[in-house]
Amino acid sequence: MAGDREEQVILRITLLGLGAWGSTLADLWRAQGHELITWTRRTGESPQHSLSGTELVVSAVAMAGVPALATQLAPSWPEGVPLLSCSKGIDPAQLCSASQLWERQLPGAAMAALSGPNLATELARGLPAASVIASTDRTLALRLQAELRTPHLRLYTNQDPLGTEVAGALKNVMAIAAGISDGLGLGSNAKASLLTRGLAETGLVLKALGGQPSTLYGLAGLGDLLATANSPLSRNYRFGLLLAGGASEEGARDQIGATVEGPATARAALKLADREGWTLPICRQVVQLLEGRLTAPAAVQALMDREPRQEELQW
């Protein structure tokens, strides 16, 4: 639908959620000439009014807010308007991704998910990044790729929204573990080993839930993991640093002062693992640390003391 950059289609976009990521996306797309209608629960206004005349709805709300918002908006959803989900996590009650929560309320709506190594602070500074738009509707993915690109945000596409969302969710758990490793001063060998096994753990969940293995090595998998597990701009990484320093889960959240998705995702992944019989040792140790059953050094030792095994990606 769009040709050269000078001919980029201008959209009327409803953006739900004005946290760091939502605000950054709003600024990027306004700079491209798109018309943004924004909503945040902090204003106390009804979100239904933001749907009037929209051509695309983008959800950037925290994962915890998705179920209620999807239920609230479903009766007034404009016919033919697609949804682009930017929320990262696994719902602890329904054990599904953000897009799956929306699909349960909007079974006929076209859906896509946006994910990748996109630290909001860097993008807000004009630094370059790339992300992926994932949808089973290839035409929709290509359309959004053309319409939402910006000079500093390069967009790719794939047809694996579930795998894309699972990878984007689990990398937050691994980022917490990486922060713990760095906070304890365990060194580069330990962190490299941790992230490699974290990638394998993510891959197990991704494939078991129906995602495509190749997604694990793309922008939403390895790319997002590398950014989130190595940057002090990452809230989940900083959260891990605080846990390593002896902070409780509540204390670490208070110090971060913003949404940290990793703890809820770790608990949801562990519920899935216990239900399905999966082995997710990193998620398990993170949850035990969060719940005060282990100290950070003891959690690391528990991982080191596991039975020897053959290296594999658990496909």
Strands of the 129-134 sheet, one edge to the other:
35-39, 12-16, 56-59, 83-85, 111-115, 129-134, 153-158
Whether 6 has a pLDDT exceeding 80, the answer reads no
Helix (H) or strand (E) holding 111: strand 111-115
Say yes or no: 20 and 154 in one domain: yes
Q: Say how far apart CA 255 and CA 266 lie, in whole Å.
A: 20
For the chain, the average pLDDT equals 94
Residue 205 within any structural domain of the chain? yes
- Indicate the number of domains in the chain: 2
Residue 14 within any structural domain of the chain? yes
Q: Taken in order 142, 143, 148, 152, is the CA torsion positive or negative?
A: positive
Whether 3 has a pLDDT exceeding 60, the answer reads no
Whose CA is closest to 195, among 152, 165, 240, 162? 240
Q: What is the mean pLDDT of residues 258-266?
A: 96
What is the predicted pLDDT for the residue at 1? 40
Residue 311 within any structural domain of the chain? no
Say yes or no: 114 and 212 in one domain: no
Residue ranges in the chain assigned as alpha helix (H) = 20-31, 66-73, 98-105, 120-124, 138-148, 161-183, 187-208, 224-228, 235-244, 249-256, 262-276, 281-290, 296-304
Q: Which of 171, 191, 207, 271 is catalytic?
A: 171
| Boundary (domain end) residue, out of 124, 159, 194 | 159
DSSP state of 47: G
| Boundary (domain end) residue, out of 159, 185, 216 | 159
Say yes or no: 45 and 150 in one domain: yes
Q: Say how far apart CA 64 and CA 107 lie, in whole Å.
A: 20
| CATH classification of the domain holding 259 | 1.10.1040.10
Say yes or no: 10 and 148 in one domain: yes
- In the annotation, is 171 catalytic? yes
What is the predicted pLDDT for the residue at 7? 67
What is the predicted pLDDT for the residue at 11? 96
Q: Are strands 129-134 and 111-115 parallel, antiparallel or unpaired?
A: antiparallel
What is the predicted pLDDT for the residue at 5? 46
Phi first, then psi, for residue 243 (nearest 5°) are -60, -40
Say yes or no: 90 and 199 in one domain: no
Q: What is the mean pLDDT of residues 270-277?
A: 96
Whether 149 has a pLDDT exceeding 70, the answer reads yes
Q: Say how far apart CA 268 and CA 276 lie, in whole Å.
A: 12
What is the predicted pLDDT for the residue at 295? 94
| Boundary (domain end) residue, out of 125, 159, 193 | 159
Say yes or no: 154 and 9 in one domain: yes
Q: Are strands 153-158 and 129-134 parallel, antiparallel or unpaired?
A: parallel
Domain boundaries, position 296: 169-304
Phi first, then psi, for residue 81 (nearest 5°) are -90, 125
Whose CA is closest to 16, among 33, 41, 35? 41
Whether 2 has a pLDDT exceeding 50, the answer reads no
What is the pTM assigned to this prediction?
0.94
Say yes or no: 218 and 279 in one domain: yes
Say yes or no: 133 and 182 in one domain: no
What is the predicted pLDDT for the residue at 43? 87
Q: Say how far apart CA 22 and CA 93 lie, in whole Å.
A: 24
What is the predicted pLDDT for the residue at 313? 59
Say yes or no: 224 and 206 in one domain: yes
> In the chain, how many H helices and how many E strands?
13, 7
